[in-house]
Each structure stands twice: as structure tokens, then as C-alpha cells.
Amino acid sequence: MGHADMDDLLKEFLAETREALDVLDSELVELEQRPGDPALLGSIFRIMHTIKGTCGFLGLPRLETVAHAAEDVLGRVRDGGLEVSPEVVSLVLAALDRIKELVADLGASGSEPAGSDDELTSALRVLASGEAPPVASEAPAVRPGTLYERAGGASGIDTACEIACAAFLEKVAQGDALAPDMLRLQFALAGGFAVALQKTPGIDIADVLTCLADNGWTESDIGTLRGEIGKAFASLAVNAEDVTALLGLLSREEPKPAAAPAPAAPKAGRPETAPPAERRDAAAGQAETLRVNINVLEDLMTMVSELVLTRNQLLQILRGCGDSPFGPPLQRLNQVTTELQESVMMTRMQPIGNAWGKLPRLVRDLTQELDKKIELIMLGADTELDRQILESIRDPLTHMVRNSADHGIETVGERLAAGKPEHGTIELSARHEGGHIVVQVSDNGRGLPTARIREKVVANGLATESQLETMTEQQIQQFIFRPGFSTAAAVTSVSGRGVGMDVVRSNIEKIGGIIEFQSTEGAGSRFVIKIPLTLAIVSALIVECAGERFAMPQNSVIELVRISHTSEKGLESINGRPVYRLRDRLLPLVSLAEILDLPRTDAAEEEDGPGSTYVVVSQVGAFVFGIIVDKVFDTEEIVVKPVSRTIRHIPSFSGTTILGDGRVIMILDPNGLATAVSAAPHVEATQQADGSHQVRGRDAVSMLVFQTGDGGPKAVPLSLVARLEEADLSTAEQAGARTVLQYRGGLMPLIGLDSQPAARSGKHPILVFVDGHRMLGLVVDRVIDIIEAPLDLQLAGGSRPGILGSAIIAGATTDVIDTVHYLRQSDPDWFSVETEKAFGEEDSRNVLLVEDSAFFRNLLMPMLTLAGYHVTVAEHGEAAIEICKDHGRFDIIVSDIEMPGLSGFDLARMLKSDAQMKGVPIIALSSHANPKDIERGMSAGFTDYVTKLDPKALLSVLSRVLSSDESATEIAA
């Protein structure tokens, strides 16, 4: 086939064959599981068959031979002559691999590589036959340039024989008599030629003629037939020399007597057997499809992108025009463009299953290699996403599945020993969620031992022991995404390919996705990947900073906060870094102008008054942060264009786009910005200050350190502080002996630690304490920092009123103030939680507080006392037991969980097994409040669970538990 379009044809063949091969891979693995499935078998056979058939046209003898040998094996299986065993599947898979290699070489070089497949094909043939090689007339090993090939191969010889037979019958005018046999004659001739030309054993062409002579054909008949055969070959463009050689085959060199009882011609043809029924799959209703070159689709996408931009431009103009006759048609254009854009995007969508095709094979091979039993479950394979994204996640997914199979799933022995079913499961699932696709890879293997991660983290210097101490298990697990991290004790041949999870993460993040990892030791691991549906056109928020506009991808924007001077809450500052208390969360902020080093302008201030600014709250992974910008405009559909090479190294940008008004602007990369934010020194402090975000290690607490009056720094637990404000004390008013400030539509009393607040003037930071509708402002001179302080503070007793004691915080002796003292001072009712005293309970309830930390004892005891409880303190679990025995009944016990010696859990269990004490509710007090701890606490017998740093919550829990206890008693009574 020396056609000019050969290259094209070859390309198409390669593309089509690759697709078919991908299907084959997974189907073969399926076949191993369902060996009897005829539909599956038929489908596999057919693909191999088609590859073989097509290769012949393209002059690809190696491919053809290998496909043919594999097809024969499959044919034998299909006909029931061979059972589907792992050996059979392995060998066919080996053939498949060879075909893939050949196809790959073919794709790279345009021709089949030299080499031999004899070993493979003979192994396949042994499987296929057990007897002689298959039908001789087929060409097992056609070498280019052989006479067989020059004669046209099976097809050419067959055609020549057919023509010759037809012409012969016409010539001898015996048509009627011979007609029924013509087909047989044709077969016999064709088969004979094939045998003679390929030197395979069987009936030779000379035998055919001899046989004809034996059956009463005359010499002249045979001569005529020879002549016709010669002519027929010649008519098929076989050259004269070859025709002579072919005719030479029609007689034997050595004279052959007619004695040999040659079998009748029909044997060669075997025409009497029934036709094998072609197997048929249940006809699946296929939607009409059309294949389109990918470049055409890309071009379409580009053009639609341009159209979107033009549309945006027109809309922008229209907005400025008020009533315009172009309005309605432009609206229509707008709508149609959107629909067109969606449709074109649809054409780029591919089912994610396309990226999963190779996985069953991968897992299967691994199970054999690693001697494990693994079942791969794939859910949501038809979930569609942009092909560009599909390509980007193909390798990461493969890597994760390989990891799961290699490191995650245990060997059969290990699983059985652990009481698990011997089959491990790897589950791959995909689903749409908002504008995203969520892909999960999970396994029920051994999980990732956190202890091992810790060791590794410390060994590699990624973090120190003490840093790890303050982290949750989940946080520690995320270290696997750090560069150079690998937990496999020994690098195995399977997973140890130099690709770490860091590469996986960066690949995912490159396309705007996020990846998270969860693992439970002994129960398995799970990767959750969230990726956008498409990259080409995204919805973006247009913001302005220092007079420059930027696009911020909408999917990473959580909310917008406008902060003006008149807002009740403003920007706060920790360590000179801006933070913002958004609801109950301290949000680290970065100024876009600062990151990008833009000159500050007053643009925002002109319009919205001084001090007004916007915060774009964004999320990258679990990290939430705010970006300070000057202005916020509309959201717009923007077309993502790559960043110019010269500025590609700047992490803050992910692309460029053209705005409706024609301006070229940069698209901000939330990942890059997040890096800039987390590099800022205050973030750690902010995260630590943010109780909801981080669970502290034992006895560590965020302290707000401030300076006021003379003397050293003072500190107060941050969790008690509701807000940080700054107010000009000259606006404060005197109400009797109290200084009050108008705040949030009410009057907030102000106090100072050492002097009357009224004695000060000018702007001062105010720590605001809030309890329901009550507020109290503590005026201080300067907020120094928020510091994560260990809580085994050496508290110097409570001799000075208002001071719990002093502690060394950040190297300085710091007075820890007794908040309760001041609150109480300002309002005697503070902390008197509305306990249900409707029953006229006058006697105070007996509370046993078990707490080993002096700090917390000193913090909680006065508070509980103030709230009207009678508090007994035990300094450790053992003491609590003693006290219970000696003093008998308590209404409720509040116990720390983590104590040296008898832990809170142990204490709870002991108390619950004590006949006298088991009815007493026990509240767990802990710095850890993760769900696992809570569950553990509940099962140990705790009634409720309260975080140490939330005294309000403790009071309300006490009140609730005691009142429900009461009503329960009443009902019982």
C-alpha cells in the first residue's frame, strides 16, 4: 500500500488500535474473573481478530503474526477447547504487551521494529493447538518478498483460483456438471498453493492436480486449468517470473505414480461442516457518534473563547449605554454564546473511565507479583471531565492505585492474621460535586502508620518532635505530600519509581485541584481529589488592587467581606500582620499589594471612605485565608490563557485573560497566594490562636500577650477573648463609677487592669469579652502577640487579686490575669449561668473538679464557684477516687482526660463500675476534642465532652446535665 495517505492511515490505525488495546487490557482481566462469559470472550476475540486482519493491509507482519497467534488461543478458548486459566490470560496479556510495544515503536518511527516474536508466538501456538498449527491456508509467518506474498497471499491465491476455476468452467463447457464442485476445486487449489508456498505439511497443489487426474479429468482439462491459473495470477498483477514459479508448483519434479491414495479434494476444503454461529452481544443501543479530530475541537474551543471575550466586551459596552436597541439581541447573543460554550466544552468531555482503563491490568499484575488478593472496584467511570484534566490526573491516579496495591493492601497471610477477609479492596470512585469532580482512591489495607510518618518526618528534618506534638494525626498524615517523603521501608520494584506523593500533589494542584489524605491504621487509606471540570473557561471574580485588575478563580473564593471604617469589626493585627476575626475564626490575611509589591493607592478610600477595604476569603485545601484588595467587581466568565514565559516563575499567577473592555489582566493563582500567606510568620500563630482549626497537644494553650501600664507583659487565654477592638477612649463616657463605650448598639463597660480607663486617652486596643448580651472591654496599651504556651505554668499562687499567677511565656515573666475576677468585678452576675433553679433549689451543687494543671484549676475553680457551685478539687485521678470514697456524693464530676497516672478515661471507667458513684455524671475536660476522642470518652462513660478553653460551654453543659439529671430523678420518683 504505497498510497500517499499511508501516513494518515497508519496514524488512524494506531489511534484505533490503542483504543482497542486499552479495552482489551481490562476485558482480559475481567475474563479471568468470569471465565465463562461468552460475550466477553467474543468481544476480546473480535478485537484481536480485527487487529490481525487490519495489519495485513498495512504490511505489519510482526503485529499480524502476534495478533494472529493470540487470536488462535482465544479462538480455542471460545470454542471450548481451552480453559481460561491464569497461564492463558498471562500469555495473551504478554502478546498484548508485545503488540503495544510494536504499536508504540510504530507510532514513534513509522515502521515496525526489527526483531523476532518466535518465542512468544510458539508459546501461544502450543496453547492454541496441542495439535498441528491452525488452518494452513492462513499465513502464520509471512516474510515480505516471498513468493507467497508476491502471489497476493491467501487473498490473492484464492482470488486467482476463483477466477481460474470460473474461466476453466466456461472453457470446458461442463459448467452444469462441474458447477457444484467449483467451490471445492477453488478451495483445493488455493489451499494447495498455500501449502506449497509455505512449505507447511498438508495437501500440496501438485497433489490436487494429481487427484483431479485420478478422478477422471483429462490431461487437456488440467492443462486448460493450468493456463487459466497462470492467466488469473497475471491478471492480479503478479509478475511473469512469479507466475512461472507458481505454475512450476503444479507438478512434482519427481514423477509421481498415481498409486498414492490421495484423499479427495474436499478434504482440503472441509466444506460440509456447519458454519459456526457468530456470537452476538446483546445489541446495545448506541447513540450516533462522529469522530472529530482533536485539533478541530481545540480550534473550536479557541474560537468559542474569542467569542466569549467579544461577548463580554459587548456586554461591558452595553452596560455603559443604558437603554440601547442592541440590548435584546445582545442578551440573546449572550445566551447563545453561553450555550455554545457549554456545548463545545461538552465535546471535550471524556468519561474518567478512560483514565482508569489500564488500572485493572495494573492491579492484576501486582496481585500476581506481590502474591496478594486485590479486588479493584470502579464506581462512576462514566463521570465526564475535560480531556486536558483527564490527561493530568491519569498518572497521579495510577500512582495512587499502585501505591495502594503495593503498600496499602497486605498479603493474604497478613490479612488473615489481622482478621480481615483475604481479598483486599481498592475502590476508585468519581462523582460530580458542584463545579468539581471528586475522585477517591481508597483501600482497606493496613493504612499508613502515623508512627512511621512521625519517625520519617523527624528523620528527614521536616518537623521536630515538639512540632509534631502539637499536630493532629490528620495533619501529620499530610506530610506524605512533602517532597522526598516515602514510607515504604524498602523501596519496592513496584512503587519505588522515584515518583513521590509530592509529584502527585503538584500535578493535581497544577490543574487547580486539591488532594487530601486520610488513613486509619489497620483499616485503610483514602485519597480524596477534588478537581475542576474544565480549565479553558472559568468563572472568575474581578478584583482591583493598586489600580490594577486581577481575576480570581471563583471556585477558590468562599466569600467576600467588606470592611469599612464604620464596620463594627476591623482588621486586627498580630505581630504586625493583619488578621481578621471572621465569625469565630481568626483569618490570616495578606495584602495583594504587598505580595505583588504594588504601590499603595488610595483608590478604595476615595470611594468608600478611609480605611475601607475588601477581603476575599479563599480556600486552598484546608487552609482558609483572606486576600486584601481595594475593590471588587463582577464575576465574569474568563478565558484562561497561559502566562507569558518571562513571568511564568511567579507563583502568584496562573494565567492571563482578556477582560470585556479589552484589558489584559493576570489570573491570580490561589495556590501561589496561599504559599505567600503561609510563609508569613503570623500564620502559625493565627492558626494556633484559632481554636476551631487546631487541636492542641496536652496542656498547651494560646495566650494573648499584651502590655498595659507598668510591669511585665500580661496574658490571657485567647479563647476567652471574643474580639479585639481599637477605640478612641476620648469617646468613652462615664456612667456613675463606670466607664462605658458605645459599642454594637449597646454600652460596653470598660476596665483597666491598673488604672481607670478614663485616665487614658487616644486610641487603645480593647479586649472584648462577651457573654450573651453582656460585654466587657479590657483596655490595654498594646497587644504583643499570640503565643502558644505550654500550660504546665509555674503559677505563683493567686495571692494578688486579679492575677492567677505568673508564667514564663516566650522567655518573659508574664502575669496571667484572672479574667473571671475582672468580669465579676464589672458585673457581679457574670458567669451566673441561668441554671434551672425553677425547682427552688437553694443548696449549691457539689462539683468535683479533677485537674492536674494548676493553671486550669485556677482558671476553672473560681469560675465554677462564681457560677454557684460548690467545688472540690482533686489534683489527679487517684486523689479523685480517694475524695469520692471519703466525701461521698457529688452531683457531678468534671475531669481532665490527660493526667499523669490515672487518666480521665481510667477514672471514668472506675467510677462507672463503682456502685455508689456510677450514677454521677462525669464531664470530660480536654484540650483534644476530635471526634475519636469524644467517642472514646463516651464509651468510657463520660456524659459529655467539653474543651478546656471554653468555660462558657462548661457552665452550660453543667447546667444542662444537672437539670436533665434532676428531671430524670423526678420521673423516676
Partner 1 sequence: MAVDLKMPILIVDDYRTMLRIVRNLLNKIGFTDIDEATDGKDALEKLRKRTYGLVISDWNMQPMTGYELLKEVRGDAALSSLPFVMVTAESKAENVVAARQAGVNNYIIKPFSAEILKAKLKTVLGDF
In the complex with partner 1, which residue's Cβ is closer, 161 or 545? 161
Q: Considering only CA atoms, which of 135, 150, 262, 118 is closest in space to residue 195?
A: 135
Instruction: Find the binder of partner 1 among 34, 252, 256, 270 (CB under 8 A).
Output: 270
* Whole-number Å distance between alpha carbons of 820 and 826: 10
Residue 125 binds partner 1 (CB under 8 A): no
* Whole-number Å distance between alpha carbons of 66 and 63: 5
Joined grid coordinates for residue 646? 518571562
Using DSSP's 3-state secondary structure scheme, residue 743 falls into strand
Residue 163 binds partner 1 (CB under 8 A): yes
Residue 52 binds partner 1 (CB under 8 A): yes
Strand 774-779 vs strand 782-790: parallel, antiparallel, or unpaired? unpaired
Instruction: Find the binder of partner 1 among 137, 613, 671, 926 (CB under 8 A).
Output: 137
| Rg over CA atoms, the chain | 42
Q: Considering only CA atoms, which of 517, 528, 540 is closest in space to residue 433?
A: 528
Residue 3 binds partner 1 (CB under 8 A): yes
Closest CB 43 distance from partner 1, rounded Å: 7
Q: What DSSP element (H or E) covers 437?
A: strand 436-443
Residue 273 binds partner 1 (CB under 8 A): yes
Beta carbons of 469 and 790 less than 8 angstroms apart: no
Instruction: Find the binder of partner 1 among 192, 202, 230, 269 (CB under 8 A).
Output: 269
* Whole-number Å distance between alpha carbons of 654 and 552: 10
Instruction: Find the binder of partner 1 among 275, 461, 498, 736 (CB under 8 A).
Output: 275
Residue 80 binds partner 1 (CB under 8 A): no
**For residue 747, which phi and psi values (nearest 5 degrees)?**
-105, 130
Instruction: Find the binder of partner 1 among 25, 112, 158, 851 (CB under 8 A).
Output: 158
**For residue 341, which phi and psi values (nearest 5 degrees)?**
-60, -45
Instruction: Find the binder of partner 1 among 114, 274, 490, 737 (CB under 8 A).
Output: 274
Beta carbons of 374 and 424 less than 8 angstroms apart: yes
For 85, 849, 872, the CA distances from 869, given in Å and listed in that order, are 76, 11, 9
Q: Please, what sign has the CA dihedral across residues 632, 636, 640, 642?
A: negative
Residue count at the site for partner 1 (CB under 8 A)? 53
Q: Please choose, out of 130-138, 452-460, 684-692, 731-739, the segment that lies near partner 1 by the rule CB under 8 A.
A: 130-138
In the complex with partner 1, which residue's Cβ is closer, 143 or 280? 280
Residue 72 binds partner 1 (CB under 8 A): no
Q: Please choose, out of 11-19, 536-544, 582-590, 808-816, the segment that lies near partner 1 by the rule CB under 8 A.
A: 11-19
Closest CB 378 distance from partner 1, rounded Å: 23
Alpha carbon 792 to chain centroid, angstroms: 42
In the complex with partner 1, which residue's Cβ is closer, 149 or 502? 149
In the complex with partner 1, which residue's Cβ is closer, 42 or 621? 42
**Other residues' Cβ atoms within 10 Å of the Cβ of residue 322:** 7
**What string of DSSP letters covers 532-574?**
ES-SSEEEEEEEEETTEEEEEEGGGEEEEEEE-TTSSS--EEE
Q: Please choose, out of 24-32, 49-57, 518-526, 729-737, the segment that lies near partner 1 by the rule CB under 8 A.
A: 49-57
Beta carbons of 713 and 706 less than 8 angstroms apart: yes
* Distance from the first to the final alpha carbon of the chain: 100
Instruction: Find the binder of partner 1 among 166, 317, 499, 643 (CB under 8 A).
Output: 166
Closest CB 107 distance from partner 1, rounded Å: 14
Residue 474: CA atoms inside 13 Å, Cβ hemisphere, count?
A: 13
* Whole-number Å distance between alpha carbons of 392 and 399: 12
**For residue 847, which phi and psi values (nearest 5 degrees)?**
-115, 130
* Whole-number Å distance between alpha carbons of 586 and 625: 9
Closest CB 15 distance from partner 1, rounded Å: 9
Please give the residues from 506 up to 535 whose contact with partner 1 meets the rule CB under 8 A.
none
Joined grid coordinates for residue 723? 474580639
In the complex with partner 1, which residue's Cβ is closer, 287 or 972? 287
In the complex with partner 1, which residue's Cβ is closer, 283 or 838? 283
**What string of DSSP letters covers 1-43?**
---TTHHHHHHHHHHHHHHHHHHHHHHHHHHHHSTT-HHHHHH
Contacts of 881 (CB under 8 A, 6+ apart): 902, 907, 910, 911
Closest CB 299 distance from partner 1, rounded Å: 21
Residue 937 amino acid letter: G
In the complex with partner 1, which residue's Cβ is closer, 121 or 367? 121
* Whole-number Å distance between alpha carbons of 652 and 905: 48
In the complex with partner 1, which residue's Cβ is closer, 280 or 649? 280
Beta carbons of 466 and 700 less than 8 angstroms apart: no
Please give the residues from 440 up to 469 whose contact with partner 1 meets the rule CB under 8 A.
none
Closest CB 234 distance from partner 1, rounded Å: 10
Strand 537-545 vs strand 548-553: parallel, antiparallel, or unpaired? antiparallel
Which neighbouring-strand residues pair with 779? 752, 766
Instruction: Find the binder of partner 1 among 31, 40, 43, 378 (CB under 8 A).
Output: 43
Instruction: Find the binder of partner 1 among 152, 351, 621, 790 (CB under 8 A).
Output: 152
Residue 121 binds partner 1 (CB under 8 A): no
Closest CB 478 distance from partner 1, rounded Å: 47
Instruction: Find the binder of partner 1 among 5, 87, 306, 559 (CB under 8 A).
Output: 5
* Whole-number Å distance between alpha carbons of 134 and 723: 86
* Whole-number Å distance between alpha carbons of 2 and 22: 29
Using DSSP's 3-state secondary structure scheme, residue 450 falls into helix
Q: Please choose, out of 160-168, 301-309, 539-547, 730-738, the segment that lies near partner 1 by the rule CB under 8 A.
A: 160-168
Closest CB 129 distance from partner 1, rounded Å: 15
Closest CB 42 distance from partner 1, rounded Å: 8
Please give the residues from 206 up to 235 whose contact with partner 1 meets the rule CB under 8 A.
232, 235
In the complex with partner 1, which residue's Cβ is closer, 179 or 968? 179
Query: Could you give the string, one character per residue 167-206, with x where binding to partner 1 holds by CB under 8 A and - elsewhere?
Result: ----------------x---x--x----------------
Q: Please choose, out of 157-165, 344-352, 538-546, 748-756, the segment that lies near partner 1 by the rule CB under 8 A.
A: 157-165
Residue 239 binds partner 1 (CB under 8 A): no
Instruction: Find the binder of partner 1 among 12, 422, 607, 728 (CB under 8 A).
Output: 12
Strand 944-947 vs strand 922-926: parallel, antiparallel, or unpaired? parallel
Closest CB 274 distance from partner 1, rounded Å: 7
Q: Considering only CA atoms, which of 384, 378, 388, 373 is closest in space to residue 356?
A: 378
Instruction: Find the binder of partner 1 among 7, 34, 38, 53 (CB under 8 A).
Output: 53
Closest CB 284 distance from partner 1, rounded Å: 6
* Whole-number Å distance between alpha carbons of 425 and 378: 11
Q: Considering only CA atoms, which of 925, 768, 934, 921 is closest in space to residue 855?
A: 925
Closest CB 355 distance from partner 1, rounded Å: 22
Instruction: Find the binder of partner 1 among 145, 255, 261, 276 (CB under 8 A).
Output: 276
Q: What DSSP element (H or E) covers 654?
A: strand 653-658
Please give the residues from 278 up to 307 whose contact with partner 1 meets the rule CB under 8 A.
278, 280-284, 291
Q: Please choose, out of 266-274, 498-506, 730-738, 840-848, the segment that lies near partner 1 by the rule CB under 8 A.
A: 266-274
Residue 135 binds partner 1 (CB under 8 A): yes
Residue 500 binds partner 1 (CB under 8 A): no
Interface residues with partner 1 (CB under 8 A) are 1, 3, 5, 9, 12-13, 16-17, 42-43, 46, 49-50, 52-54, 56-57, 135, 137-138, 152-156, 158-160, 162-163, 166, 183, 187, 190, 232, 235-237, 269-271, 273-276, 278, 280-284, 291
